[in-house]
Amino acid sequence: MADDRFTVATQRREEAPALLARSFPGLELRLEKSDAPFAFRHSTATAGSLVVDELQVSGGASAHGATRFGLIAAGVLVSGRFDVEYARHRIDTSRPFLRPAEPASVRMRDVHLRMVGFEAERFRAAADRYTDGDGRRRRLLRTRPISDDAAAAWRWTADRIHDTLREGPVLNPIVRDELFDLGVRMLLACFGEPVAATAAADVRSAPTAVRRAVAYLEEHASGAITVPDVAAAARVSPRSLQALFRRHLGVTPLAHLHAIRLDAARRDLLGAAGSTPSTVHEVAARWGFGNSGRFARLYSERFGERPSETLRLS
């Protein structure tokens, strides 16, 4: 990402959607009609692979779509109301939260929101360097922090990153890298779950076509996906895609998609306490598993516990 810093603001309702679309072209903003005074302000600051956003909108509004592609982002609601729903799952935004990669619907009122975003590919590469004491890596499988202390720790971290980037351009590459590294370590510590080693390193070292395909699968996991769709995104033929996945990841594209959806289902089950109440059957159906028994078996094989046990822990 190129270094950039800018702020846009207006007190005219009709101007706000276009101003927001300059930064988030995939997001459509709709404002409630009102005669009350109106204010919109959005600022962005980028330093290498790190980006911060701050959004303030008075009154009521809604939005739908996807924000920046290829980013892992965490939000902190400073004030107001900000309801996020994706794939029929509502995220608890009363505490810091991870923004879903999938298109989402948002309803907001008098919102003041701060976001910290990481270039996804570099984030994953950095995350692979860190392990717990038993050698396990951490993965972001939930949308909410693992505890109240973790929530407070991420708020502190997000404030430090925002303050640093808003002070001016971060020209020193050492400071940039240390700031990015701090964000990665703290996001993993506050939101991550320890898991056994996965194929993440294989994805990172795989050919560009495989990385494009995996990014497409992750971005569109909540919708209907076919192998030709993925092949088109990867810019190869379906036959070549199948061969590349087997050679470099040891699985088919659809098997990798199932793993992504199982991770998403676990994220929803872990986040159930602070969001829309869900049953195991509802979560399974949300992520394309029509047979609850098969979902439970695949889930247990991947995570070592039944989905009902995860739901009780949330």
- At residue 272, the pLDDT reads 59
185 and 230 part of one domain: no
Q: What is the CATH number for 299?
A: 1.10.10.60
278 and 192 part of one domain: no
208 and 257 part of one domain: yes
User: Six-digit token pair at 236?
Assistant: 């190869």
- CB 254 within 8 Å of CB 227: yes
73 and 187 part of one domain: yes
- At residue 31, the pLDDT reads 94
pTM of the model: 0.68
Cα–Cα distance for residue pair 39/10, rounded to 1 Å: 6
Nearest to 253 by CA among 288, 198, 215, 292: 215
Cα–Cα distance for residue pair 25/20, rounded to 1 Å: 8
240 and 177 part of one domain: no
148 and 288 part of one domain: no
Q: What SS3 string covers the chain?
A: CCCEEEEEEECCHHHHHHHHHHHCCCEEEEECCCCCCCCEEEEEEEECCEEEEEEEEEEEEEEEECCCCCEEEEEEEEEEEEEEEECCEEECCCCCEECCCCCEEEEEEEEEEEEEEEEHHHHHHHHCCCCCCCCCEEECCCCCCCCHHHHHHHHHHHHHHHHHHHHCCCCCHHHHHHHHHHHHHHHHHHHCEEECCCCHHHHHHCCHHHHHHHHHHHHCCCCCCCHHHHHHHHCCCHHHHHHHHHHHCCCCHHHHHHHHHHHHHHHHHHCHHHCCCCCHHHHHHHCCCCCHHHHHHHHHHHHCCCHHHHHHHC
Last residue of a domain, one of 197, 231, 264: 197
pLDDT digit of tens for each residue in the chain (314 aa)? 667 788 999 999 999 999 988 878 888 899 999 889 999 999 999 988 999 999 999 999 999 887 777 789 999 999 999 999 876 678 889 999 988 777 789 999 999 999 999 998 888 888 877 766 555 677 786 788 888 899 999 999 999 999 988 887 766 788 888 899 999 999 999 988 776 544 555 777 789 999 899 888 888 888 889 999 999 999 999 999 999 998 888 889 998 998 889 988 888 887 755 555 578 888 888 888 888 888 888 888 887 788 888 887 66
Q: What is the dihedral of CA 93, 99, 104, 108, to 10 degrees?
A: 40
299 and 173 part of one domain: no
51 and 193 part of one domain: yes
Last residue of a domain, one of 164, 197, 230: 197
How many domains are contained in the chain?
2
User: Six-digit token pair at 12?
Assistant: 């005219």
- At residue 130, the pLDDT reads 75
Nearest to 74 by CA among 47, 93, 46, 49: 93
Last residue of a domain, one of 179, 197, 215: 197
- At residue 136, the pLDDT reads 65
Q: What is the CATH number for 48?
A: 2.60.120.10
Nearest to 202 by CA among 237, 244, 264, 152: 244
113 and 17 part of one domain: yes
64 and 143 part of one domain: yes
Helices 253-270, 238-248: inter-axial angle, 10-degree rounding = 70
User: Six-digit token pair at 77?
Assistant: 């609601």
180 and 275 part of one domain: no
286 and 149 part of one domain: no
- At residue 276, the pLDDT reads 54
Domain residues for the domain of 124 are 1-197
Pairing of strands 71-86, 4-10: unpaired
